[in-house]
C-alpha cells in the first residue's frame, strides 16, 4: 500500500529512543526523509547509527527559543516540514503525597510545553504552505486519572484538547492535527514509570509491572512498532480525512467512548 510519504520531510521530536525511534524507522521504510531530535546528542548519534539516511541534532524543547531555532534550522537546511511527530518528553510519575506545585509545573514543561513549543512555529508554517500533518504521541493517562500520574495525566489531557482544538482551527488551511494515546509500551520508560505504582502498592517494581500487564485485556504491553504503525498511517494520505481526534491504543485497558 502506497501511503504517499515518499520524499516527505518528517521531523520527530524524541526520535532517539522508544516510540520515537520506532517512528523514525517506519517513516524511513516508507521512503520519507527523516530528521530526529533529542535532548542528548549522544542519544541522537546512537539512533542515527540505526537510521541510514536520517539526520538529527540535540535540542531541549522545554526551551521555547531553542525549539523555534530548531524548526528554523530544519527548514533552512532541509526544506518545509511535511510531518511533525511529537514524541519527546515524559512527566515524572509521583505519588499524590509527593506532588508539589513544582512537580505540576515540571510535568507541564516536560510534556505539554515541549510539544507546544514544537507545534506552534510548525503549524503556522504548514498553514502558510497549505498542507501538513502533526501527530502527537500523548498517552492514555490523559483520559483516566491515576494517583501516580496526576500531573503527567493533566499534561496529557491538555495535549488532547490542544490536538482537537488545533485540528479544528487549521482544517481549512489544509493542516491535520491528530493524536495517539499509547498505554503501557515496551520501552525503557516502563520500569521508571512503575516505581511510583510499586511504592503506592507496597510491592516490587517487577510485581507492579506484572499486575499492570495482567490488567490489560490484551494481556501484554504494546510494542513501539505497533504505535509507530498507527502514527505513520495517521500521517499518510490514507488518513486524509482524519483530524482533531486522538486514537486510543492501550489494549482495551480503558474502554471509553470517544
Q: Are 187 and 19 in contact (CB under 8 A)?
A: yes
pLDDT exceeds 70 at position 258: no
* Distance separating alpha carbons of residues 28 and 51, to the nearest angstrom: 8
Contacts of 169 (CB under 8 A, 6+ apart): none
CA angle 134, 138, 140 (to 5 degrees): 140
How many residues make up the chain in this entry? 258
Please write the tens of the pLDDT for every residue from 143-176. Answer: 888 888 899 999 999 999 999 999 999 999 999 9
pLDDT exceeds 70 at position 113: yes
**224 — pLDDT class (breaks 50, 70, 90):** very high
* Distance separating alpha carbons of residues 157 and 174, to the nearest angstrom: 25
First-to-final CA distance of the chain? 28
Please write the tens of the pLDDT for every residue from 175-223. Answer: 999 999 999 999 888 877 788 788 878 999 899 899 999 999 999 999 9
Identify the pLDDT of residue 157: 96
Read off the pTM.
0.95
Extended beta strands in the chain, E state = 9-13, 33-38, 55-58, 83-86, 132-137, 175-182, 246-249
Under the phi-then-psi rule, with left for phi > 0, alpha for psi from -120 to 50, and beta for the rest, what region is 188? alpha
User: Reading across the β-sheet that carries 132-137, which strands appear in turn?
Assistant: 55-58, 33-38, 9-13, 83-86, 132-137, 175-182, 246-249
Amino acid at each position: 500500500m502506497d501511503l504517499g510519504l515518499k520524499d516527505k520531510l518528517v521531523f520527530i521530536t524524541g526520535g532517539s529512543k522508544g516510540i520515537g525511534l520506532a517512528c523514525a524507522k517506519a517513516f524511513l521504510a516508507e521512503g520519507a526523509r527523516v530528521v530526529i531530535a533529542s535532548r542528548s546528542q549522544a542519544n541522537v548519534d546512537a539512533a542515527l547509527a540505526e537510521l541510514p539516511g536520517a539526520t538529527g541534532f540535540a535540542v531541549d524543547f522545554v526551551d521555547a527559543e531553542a525549539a523555534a531555532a530548531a524548526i528554523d534550522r530544519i527548514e533552512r537546511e532541509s526544506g518545509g516540514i511535511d510531518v511533525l511527530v511529537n514524541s519527546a518528553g515524559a512527566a515524572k510519575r509521583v505519588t499524590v503525597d509527593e506532588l508539589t506545585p513544582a512537580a505540576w509545573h515540571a510535568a507541564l514543561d516536560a510534556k505539554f510545553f515541549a510539544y507546544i513549543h514544537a507545534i506552534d512555529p510548525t503549524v503556522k508554517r504548514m498553514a502558510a504552505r497549505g498542507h501538513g500533518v502533526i501527530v502527537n504521541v500523548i498517552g492514555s493517562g490523559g483520559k483516566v486519572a491515576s494517583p501516580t500520574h496526576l500531573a503527567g495525566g493533566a499534561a496529557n489531557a491538555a495535549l488532547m484538547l490542544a490536538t482537537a482544538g488545533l485540528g479544528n482551527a487549521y482544517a481549512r488551511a489544509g493542516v491535520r492535527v491528530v493524536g495517539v494515546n499509547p498505554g503501557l509500551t515496551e520501552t525503557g520508560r516502563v520500569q521508571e514509570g512503575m516505581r511510583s505504582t510499586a511504592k503506592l502498592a507496597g510491592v516490587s517494581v517487577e510485581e507492579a509491572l506484572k499486575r499492570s500487564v495482567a490488567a490489560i485485556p490484551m494481556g501484554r504491553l504494546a510494542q513501539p512498532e505497533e504505535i509507530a504503525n498507527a502514527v505513520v498511517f495517521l500521517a499518510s494520505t490514507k488518513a486524509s480525512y482524519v483530524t482533531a481526534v486522538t486514537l486510543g491504543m492501550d489494549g482495551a485497558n480503558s474502554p471509553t467512548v470517544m
